[in-house]
Amino acid sequence: MKIGVLTGGGDCPGLNAVIRAVVRKSIQDGHSVIGLKNGWKGLLEKNYMNLTLDSVSGILHRGGTILGSSRTNVYKTEGGEKKAIASIKELELDALVAIGGEDTLGVAAKLHKAGVNVVGVPKTIDNDLNATDYTFGFDTAVNVATEAIDRIHTTAESHNRVGVVEVMGRHAGWIAIHSGMAGGADVILIPEKPFDIDEVCDILKKRHARGKTFSIVCVAEGAQPKDGTMVLSRLEKDSFGHVMLGGIGNVIAEEIEKRTGFETRATVLGHIQRGGSPTAYDRVLGTRFGVKAAELVFEGKFGMMAALKGDKIVAVSLDEAVGELKTVDDELYEVAKTFFG
């Protein structure tokens, strides 16, 4: 078989581990692999590179993706579906392995319904893909955010400040809840739970009344005040219709300082969470996903995605994976609230 591999959407640590695993497993079983450059854009433009054992050697520990990525949406491109199918025929591909999050795999699910042989691998630092316990990239992002919170702790304590740390998370607060708990944040704000800034300030005032001279607030970029407004850095949308978020940490810091009188500083982690080498966990998880994806191709189980269930890698349908977002559950948030203030 001739198999095409692509990585779409936001980059994250562990992508190269998946690419390497797909290539190693495929070649071992007598198949060839090409890498489509820059996500779905590479398929539409027939821009690719041959993937050999040499080309995937030494990439396991590297962050990002050797194939490049983009937010190109086949279904927002004029004649995109027909172009994609024509490219697959011209490149003589027997199957596609799409590595990505909700948007990339959403396109994969539609293409499968159009007759394309495609399987998926769940990638997102946000951990918001349904039908899998964890996505690769999430563990690395949480570790980066936790280390940042640890570092903010020491400087906040030294200067008697409130430190606001903004992490990624558009609609799901998995990074915020995990890194906030791991880093001992005193308040955690997530998209699933609209917040009242007065309640936040009351918690901080009570801490200071108990003799604490500093506090840490961890906020997801998509967190919203109870009136439902969002803080946006700009109003442009990407090709999948998502508004560019960012900046709520700075607004919250200003409000806290104004309402409490406590000196407050904001730190926006942004793409730092997506960069750098993957953790050992993400390297292993990405490798297991890649091998499973290759096996699904060999077995002709298209329209499926490799997923983690407990400690097993299993196959689930792409439709189930992208049917709805996986958001933070009440039980986990209640555990976190135990330590607020």
Residues identified as active-site: 126
The CA radius of gyration of the chain, in Å to the nearest whole number, is: 21
What tokens were used for 145? 């955010």
- Of 261, 232, 256, whose CA–CA distance to 246 is shortest? 232
Give the integer Cα–Cα distance in Å for 115 and 96: 12
Amino acid sitting at position 94: D
H-only helix segments in 91-228: 102-113, 138-159, 174-183, 197-209
Is residue 5 within 8 Å of 119, Cβ to Cβ? no
Give the integer Cα–Cα distance in Å for 81 and 88: 11
Give the integer Cα–Cα distance in Å for 184 and 204: 14
- DSSP letter at 76 equals G
Classify strands 232-237 and 243-245 as parallel, antiparallel or unpaired: antiparallel
**Do you know the residue count of the chain?**
341
What tokens were used for 319? 């439709």
Strand ranges of the sheet holding 215-220, from the earlier edge strand across to the other edge: 187-189, 215-220, 162-167, 264-268
Assign 156 to helix, strand or coil: helix
Give the integer Cα–Cα distance in Å for 317 and 339: 38
List Cβ neighbours of 180 (8 Å cut-off, separation of 6 or more): 149, 188, 218, 336
